[in-house]
Copies of this chain bind each other. A is one copy, B any other.
Amino acid sequence: MSSTDGLAQVLAPVEEGMTRMHDVLVTQVREGSPAVRDMTAHLGRFRGKQLRAALVLLVGDATGNSTDEHATIAAIVELIHLATLVHDDILDGAEVRRRLACVNQRWNNQVAVLLGDFLYARAFALSTELSSRLCSRVLAETTRRICVGEIEQSARRYDFEMPQARYEEIAGAKTAELYAAACELGARYPGGHEESGTLMHAFGWEIGLAFQIVDDCLDLVATQEELGKTVGTDVEDGKVSLPVLYVYAHANERLRARIRDVFTLPELENRARILREECDLAPGVEYALARAGALVERAMKRIHGLPASPARTALSGLGDFVLARRY
């Protein structure tokens, strides 16, 4: 089974909800102003797997907590995810100079800032129209934690001796927080069900962290063709991910110095490829994927007690998909 089929199977039980989610998303992004319409046309670049939105719906179904508002919550989660992606695309002065060739002329930093802000504002405005405040509360706090994680990540660039726990905190804040919030809202919205909310929050956190670890491995070793997006960006941006931390920790001083050089020497082209050619990254990738596997396994145990349902089966399939995906 290819990983595309795997994703289709995961999404099948919530197909109708995902269609409604998509309708809400399109309506929210539509705006009278031609300049804004021009800008939201760029959003196609960021159209992804919409796993976070699917989790709201799947967890709602699997915990017997679906409401008419779940599709809207799924759209709000997706809007916040889109906003973070758009803002991630903003380059600092050094990167602008370094990557100028890749920067789309029409897609400048200011556009990205404004479009991201617009998406955040849309998401929060929509959440304030829901019957319960839980969604606004959970997502405002989640967004704050995502920002703190991104700020920490930026401060930890070129830190080759970061403990694994710190890497996981940062990767977790960046990705797992929104997975966890999506699952928590699926299980808890509009209120009550605290225990189920806590359980599914933990499930989402583990799946999200596993997803990010796999993402970091793919960015390091996949090709642009396989992944359908630019690879090697972590190495370019000085982000030291789990496989590199592992290889660095087990390297002799000569190799460590070379790894630092590949990350930091000015004017190097295609740093990730140089790293792959000059270091054996396989043990680091293997270690990281094993960690992702353990996280998924722990997540699966959490949903074991839920009543059997197509949604619960899909959540199990999501674990396999996260580990097997090549895009």
A110 (CB) vs chain B CBs: closest residue: B92
Q: Which of A109, A110, A120 has the most CB of B within 10 A?
A: A110
* Contact A90/B110 with A124-B143, A128-B133, A144-B122 known, Cβ cut-off 8 Å: yes
A155 (CB) vs chain B CBs: closest residue: B35
A113-139 with Cβ < 8 A to chain B: 113-118, 120-122, 124-125, 127-129, 133, 136-137
* Copies of this chain present: 2
Instruction: Please give, as numbers and ranges, the residues of chain B lying within 8 Å of A103 by CB-CB distance.
Output: 93
Cα A154 to Cα B39 with chains together (Å): 11
| Binary flags per residue of A9-52, CB closer than 8 Å to B gives 1, else 0 | 00000000000000000000001011110110000000000000
Instruction: Please give, as numbers and ranges, the residues of chain B lying within 8 Å of A100 by CB-CB distance.
Output: 93
Cα A33 to Cα B150 with chains together (Å): 11
A-side interface size class: 35 or more
Cα A154 to Cα B110 with chains together (Å): 8
Instruction: Please tell me if A230 contacts chain B, counting CB pairs below 8 Å.
Output: no
* Contact partner, A94, options B97, B108, B133, B147, Cβ 8 Å: B108
Cα A189 to Cα B148 with chains together (Å): 30
Cα A143 to Cα B123 with chains together (Å): 11
Determine whether the beta carbon of A144 is less than 8 Å from that of B128.
no
Instruction: Please tell me if A151 contacts chain B, counting CB pairs below 8 Å.
Output: yes
Cα A151 to Cα B36 with chains together (Å): 6
Instruction: Please tell me if A96 contacts chain B, counting CB pairs below 8 Å.
Output: yes
* Contact partner, A140, options B33, B94, B96, B125, Cβ 8 Å: B125
Cα A100 to Cα B93 with chains together (Å): 8
Determine whether the beta carbon of A147 is less than 8 Å from that of B90.
no
Cα A129 to Cα B110 with chains together (Å): 31
Determine whether the beta carbon of B133 is less than 8 Å from that of A147.
no
Cα A111 to Cα B92 with chains together (Å): 8
Determine whether the beta carbon of B92 is less than 8 Å from that of A108.
yes
Instruction: Please give, as numbers and ranges, the residues of chain B lying within 8 Å of A36 by CB-CB distance.
Output: 148, 151-152
- Closest chain-B Cβ to A47's Cβ sits at a distance in Å of 20
* Contact A151/B121 with A100-B93, A108-B93, A109-B93 known, Cβ cut-off 8 Å: no
Cα A142 to Cα B288 with chains together (Å): 44
Cα A296 to Cα B150 with chains together (Å): 43
Which A residues fall within an 8 A CB radius of B?
Answer: 31, 33-36, 38-39, 87, 90-94, 96-97, 100, 103, 108-111, 113-118, 120-122, 124-125, 127-129, 133, 136-137, 140-141, 143-144, 146-148, 150-152, 154-156
